[in-house]
Structure 1
Amino acid sequence: MRRFVHHIVVLCALLLCFMNSAVVLAKNKMEGVRVWPSPDSTRVVFDMSSKPDFSYFMLKNPLRLVVDLQGTQQAKYLPTVPKKHKLISKLRYSKPKKKNSTRVVFELSGAVKPVIFALAPTGPYKNRLVVDLYSTNTTSRSADKINAKKRTRVADRDIVIAIDAGHGGEDPGSIGPSGTYEKNVTLQIAKRIARLVDKEPGMKARLIRTGDYYLKLNTRTARAREKRADFFVSVHADAFSSPGPNGTSVWVLSLRRANSEIGKWLEDKEKHSQLLGGAAGLIKDTANEKYLAKALLDMSMDHSMKTAFQVADEVVKELRSVSKLHKKKPQAANFGVLKSPDIPSILVETGFISNPREERKLNTAEHQQKLASAIFVSIRNYYKRNPPDNSLFASLKNNTPVKHKVKRGESLSVLASRYGTTVTALKKHNRLKKNTLYIGQILTIPKA
């Protein structure tokens, strides 16, 4: 019996040693490498079989980023880098310091700020190592920021609409039953909205994302500000764990999130300058600066939220003829992309990509165009009624005679008071010999 127990103990010890050696010999595997382009950055994604153990450092003369992946088997090949990637000229392997590891060298064409992190498995992706390279050559971006701060009045200017296609690049968004990526649908609809906006005299579109690449939420709103947008619309497609839910919905910033963002802006001195313009230099380092900034920010946020809700209400009405509504009124939420205190912003969920029927519709050019048209018409109609003072829309409105249809109980004196004119001017402009009006009569209102 003792001998039998001894054999069992020896066998278990051998088995344990074998298991330990297997762990030692086990390797992570680099299963693929993907490169994502972006106007101001480049993202490189390493698809891994398990969680990566990594380190990195920079080298000069020439500029290089070196990434070491411990206990990792390298992929058979690294992708060639297209010319549109201005930050990386080449990806290559180099001899690692440790055995059973992989060293990847990024040959850089300019100064960059690397941001490197691991991502856990989600959706269609396994473990990943993400390398984001941001250009530190901020000449063009600084110029945009300077221009954004210059609020000079340009007569008959275009109303700028910033259009944000949700998700992108490594972030596919929701995925439909047949494999449709939300990021592709949103970009197609956003481009259709942009084309409609650009065709309208007095309006100009600015796409936040023009291709298949990832942008942070903060970057999206910052770009809208840099482009001096009057309005910001973010396009998305909804999803649920079951295929049943369907329909469109429109979202605006919640009051709770708005108050949170106001607090953040007040703590940021650079934001004070954006709000106060030239006055910031006069009251700098005084106790009054923060209070004045808060007053202006409160007014700006109040205007933005009112405008956003009114446009959102218009969009809901227009979408009724295009699609079933999931929410019959605009909804308030804490979405990160809806947080600009100075830019009216809405988010449109164009349908449930998790619903097979809506997924098919969202993939058709006809339905995409109907959705784009509904969103565009709503924004255009709002600004035709409420144009910024220095815009072409305002100029056209001022030169267009105001018509009024007489209702029960209205008189010339009532209308003169309402429109800021006189009874004499009303009679002269409409060639009236008497003060009597009749219901349904159309009057042309003279300018005040």
Structure 2
Amino acid sequence: MMVLSVMERARGLIKLFVGILVVLTWSAAAYANDLKGVRVWPSPDSTRVVLDLSDQPSYKYFSLTNPHRLVVDLKQTSNKVDLSKIKLDSKLVKKIRTSKPPEKGTLRLVLELTRPVKPVLFPLSPTKPYGDRLVIDAFDTREPAKAITASQKVSQDRDVIIAIDAGHGGEDPGSIGPGKRFEKRITLQIAKRLANYVNKQKGMKATMVRTGDYYVNLNRRSEIARKRQADLLISIHADAFTSPQPRGASVWVLSQGRANSEIGRWMEQTEKHSELLGGAAEVIENTSSEKYVARALLDMSMDRSMVESQEVAARIVKEMGKVTKLHKKKPVAASLAVLKSPDIPSILVETGFISNPTEAKLLSTASHQDKLALAIFRGTRDYFKQHPPHGSYLARNKSRQHVVQSGESLSLIAARYKTSVSKLKKENKLKSDVVRIGQVLRIPGSS
């Protein structure tokens, strides 16, 4: 009897152990993933919400109205985050909360919205310092401001507009150098310094593609520059390599191969022709030769942009060589998405190698950032002073040249061009009133 009792107890313990294993196995299957963090990156016309997960997400989503919401269902996921503590500075997403799931084991997240959005969701594989993620992009669906065409752009004494693009941002940190130096932070700091120099120059104005720590899609960066009537797009980056040895700055322009492929892509989007061709698009619209004329005009626009980009880049390389080591002593052509606009001269400046310990430290200092920004500005300014756009303040005040002849004095030359001796001396950095025969003087424009 005693033996039987022991056996029965043993069977009971085995059943209990098996039952516990079944429960634990079911729990592991029901919650194979954990929501470990939620990060929000607001920008002027979109908001990115990043869900940090312990494993690859399995998800579905849908939108609701009255009120506007975006619902995301994460299968086999448990929540480890206090959603009430998430900081939201977004104009689109006002709250993130959970809701009753459609089935057991599913985590339902609800993004309460201020207005309708266009949602784009995609998973990201682990990349240091992050693990698996689900990215939720909420784009504002309000009608965007219409792009300004070339024909609308010209106005008397307008400013030359420089669009400054700080590379990476938000969820995209760019390269990470020694000491956890993030490329996205360095590029924004240099971009802001560059914008400050541009805005101090009479006849020039800076516009920032991004002004804070948020991500802007590569395809949208040139679109933003176009809508803001930019005469030049400068994209600021910091280079990186697998070994710490390489260092030095470089300037990049669009390759001919990428230029041709972009022309082809624009040709397929006939509704965008007017953005690039202005009034010409109306003339060629609905004609039998529209495709060929549009192609010719786009080709000419791209050719002009590429020539201007090359000339600006060459001047910036020269100026940067005065303040930092150069990795490439001439502009380099490459297939880079941010440089692809057919109608806006565009360059990409690699300010140095963030993977090089010495250069990473330099790139993080205010003094070096300021030297780089000033060099980029000087190269840009000198190009536009020499080649000012029609209708701009710089065009009206472009310096003329005068070769000093026998018997001419500084006061005589000043009177001839209706300017002052002091302005002549300042324009030409003269320390005295003495000039020599054959000397070339720059004549300041009227202010």
> Shorter-normalised TM-score: what interval?
0.7 to 0.9
Q: Whole-Å Cα distance in 2 between the matches of residues 82 and 199 of structure 1?
A: 35
Residue of structure 2 equivalent to 1:119: 124
User: How far apart are 1:49 and its partner, in Å?
Assistant: 0.4
Q: Is the 8 A contact 1:148 1:227 kept in 2?
A: no
> Following TM superposition, by how much is the alpha carbon of 1:277 offset from its aligned partner in structure 2, in angstroms?
2.4
Rounded Cα–Cα distance in structure 1 between residues aligned with 2:57 and 2:211: 31
Q: How does 1:35-114 map to 2 (within 5 A)?
A: 35-80=40-85, 84-114=89-119
3-state SS of the aligned residue for 2:51? strand
Judged with a 3 Å threshold, the aligned counterparts in structure 2 of structure 1 residues 327 and 380 are, in CA distance, closer, same or farther, namely: same
Structure 1: unaligned runs, 5 residues or longer: 1-13, 407-425, 431-438
Residue aligning to 1:257? 258
Deviation string for 1:81-129 (max 9, x for gaps)? 6564111111111111222221111111101111111110012110001
Matched, 1:342 2:343: yes
What is the distance in 1 between the residues matched to 2:241 and 2:341? 27
CA drift at 1:75: 2.1
- When residues 317 and 401 of structure 1 are mapped into structure 2, their CA distance, relative to the original with a 3 A threshold, is closer
Q: Which residue of 2 is the match for residue 357 of structure 1?
A: 358
Secondary structure class of the residue paired with 1:375: helix
User: Following superposition of structure 1 onto structure 2, how do residues 115-264 of structure 1 map, counting pairs within 5 Å?
Assistant: 115-138=120-143, 141=144, 143-145=145-147, 147-148=148-149, 151-264=152-265
Aligned residue for 2:343, secondary structure, equals: coil
Cα offsets for 1:234-288 (capped at 9, x unmatched): 0000001111111111100001001111111122112222333234334322122
Alignment partners' CA distance in 2, 1:349 and 1:288 = 42
The CA deviation at 1:193 is 0.4
What is the RMSD of the two structures over their aligned residues, measured on CA atoms?
A: 2.5
CA offsets, 1:396-445, max 9 Å, x none?
11xx4422368xxxxxxxxxxxxxxxxxxx9xx79xxxxxxxx9524779
Conserved? CA contact 1:155–1:392, under 8 Å: yes
Over 3 Å counting, the alpha-carbon distance change for 1:47 and 1:81 in structure 2 is closer
Change (3 A) 1:70 1:366: same
Distance (Å, rounded) in 1 between the aligned partners of 2:442 and 2:175: 52
Cα distance, 1:339–1:364 mapped onto 2, change above 3 Å: same
TM-score between both structures, scaled by the size of structure 2: 0.84
CA distance, structure 2, for counterparts of residue 313 and residue 405 of structure 1: 30
Q: What secondary structure, in the 3-state scheme, does the structure 1 residue paired with 2:70 have?
A: strand
State, as a whole percentage, how many aligned pairs show the same letter.
54
Would the alpha carbon gap of residues 320 and 280 (structure 1) be closer, same or farther in structure 2, given more than 3 Å must change? Answer: closer
Change (3 A) 1:29 1:379: same
**Cα distance in 2 between the residues matched to 1:346 and 1:445:** 29
Unaligned runs of 5+ in 2: 1-17, 406-412, 418-435
Counterpart-to-counterpart distance in 1, 2:276 and 2:234? 22
Q: Distance in 2 between matches of 1:277 and 1:71?
A: 53
Instruction: Check whether the contact 1:36–1:44 (CA below 8 A) recurs between aligned residues.
Output: yes
- Measured in 2, the distance between the counterparts of 1:257 and 1:364 equals 35
**What is the Cα deviation at residue 179 of structure 1?**
0.4
Report the Cα offset of residue 212 of structure 1.
0.4
Which residue does 1:308 correspond to in 2?
Answer: 309
Aligned residues between the structures:
399
Q: Is the 1:165–1:234 contact (alpha carbons within 8 Å) kept by the matching residues of 2?
A: yes
User: CA deviation digits over 1:36-76, x for unaligned, max 9?
Assistant: 11000011111000001111111121111111111111023
Partner SS state of residue 397, structure 2: helix
Answering whether residue 35 of structure 2 is matched by residue 30 of structure 1, we say yes
4+ residue stretches of structure 1 with deviation over 4 A? 17-23, 79-83, 443-447
**Matches of 2:323 and 2:273, distance apart in 1:** 42
